[in-house]
Structure 1
Amino acid sequence: MTEPTQTHLTPMPGAEGFNHSVGTAPAYWWMDILWIVLADANDTGGRFSLMEELLPKGSGPGPHTHTWSDETYYMLDGEVTFLVGDEIIVARKGDYLTVPRDTRHAFRVDSETARFLNGYTPASLEAAVTELAMPAPERVLPLKGLAPMPQMTPEQLRRYGMAVVPGPNPLRPDSH
């Protein structure tokens, strides 16, 4: 076994410490979801981002990919059905799920509400949330329809490293 070199012990640029609280971090309403941005690209030198999300039953995006970020989910509460590639996965409190970049995925909240930590490596989607969402006046779910998701333009999708996957959504058989 070799000894680690000094380069392994030196923090990368942007690795300064920080402490953000779920009670004071920036919060947003978007897509009927409460998003709390715990770490963004500015905090981490762009290496990763982390958000806590509170979601209502039935919410979740259709099939899409993140073209330059790996995505993670850590379930804090509730039950969510995920599509990852061609696999259907039901995740509950305590489950950790990863979605490699360029992998088709979607999800649907099956419980009355769900709460999870959602991370991106490198940072990406939190930039869309802070740009497109409305600041949350309270840390609760928005009223249904109050904070809808506008159709993202092709330029916005590229800017945030995303692509929509056309075709049916196996989590919503009635979709086309």
Structure 2
Amino acid sequence: MTMQAYKRSPALDNSTWYKGILISQLAAGPDTNGAFDFAESKMKKGTEPPPHIHDREDELFYILAGELKVFADGQVFTVAAGETVFLPRNIPHAYLIQSDECHVLALITPGGFFTAINKMNAPARAMTIPSDMETYATADLTDTMAIFTKYGIRMLSPAEIAEQLPAYPAAH
């Protein structure tokens, strides 16, 4: 595939709703010959994924607005607007949104993570965080976990969370 220069901004034609999160895919694997995915996400408390691990991707988050508490590699980071957090592959991690909403840029390398997400999302009907959608906390994750497993992403068991992310609150 020959890559092409392009300009893209968050819009309905490149945005989806996934588990209560508005995701605008600004660059995906096909755009970059698999080099990286780049997205803008808007999310609210309660839409966070469970603790998990990526076998293939490194993730870099830049916070535009709001605040996250990130749990990774025995550490806890509070990451606020204007700050970044890097989560290397093979390191179990999780995050909890500390503000009402959080607005994040995500660079994921190599590309391909959105291939999994795109099997489960829905076209955004508005450029807002969906309010009437199942989240990780309310959905049956059986199908989600089966898809993620095919793409090298695995949710941690309660025992793994206790061992590898001891500061992560047990209530989640």
TM-score (norm 1): 0.83
Residue-by-residue CA offset, 1:62-99 (whole Å, 9 max, x unaligned):
21111011111010000110011211100000111111
Equivalent of 2:153, from 146, 154, 162? 162
Unpaired runs of at least 5, structure 1: 1-12
- Over the aligned positions, Cα root-mean-square deviation in angstroms equals 1.9
Q: State how far apart, in whole Å, the 2-side matches of 1:124 and 1:161 are.
A: 10
Call closer, same or farther: CA 1:24–1:153 in 2, change over 3 Å.
closer
Q: State how far apart, in whole Å, the 2-side matches of 1:58 and 1:88 are.
A: 19
Equivalent of 1:126, from 80, 96, 114? 114
Conserved? CA contact 2:20–2:47, under 8 Å: yes
Residue-by-residue CA offset, 1:48-72 (whole Å, 9 max, x unaligned):
0011110112331121111011111
2:64 equivalent in structure 1? 76
**Larger CA deviation: 20-29 vs 103-112:** 20-29
Call closer, same or farther: CA 1:88–1:21 in 2, change over 3 Å.
same
Call closer, same or farther: CA 1:161–1:14 in 2, change over 3 Å.
farther
Residues 1:22 and 2:6 are matched in the alignment? no
Unpaired runs of at least 5, structure 2: none
Q: State how far apart, in whole Å, the 2-side matches of 1:173 and 1:164 are.
A: 15
* Number of positions where the alignment pairs a residue of Structure 1 with one of Structure 2: 162
Equivalent of 1:94, from 76, 82, 92? 82
Conserved? CA contact 1:80–1:108, under 8 Å: yes
The percent identity for this pair of structures is: 24
TM-score (norm 2): 0.85
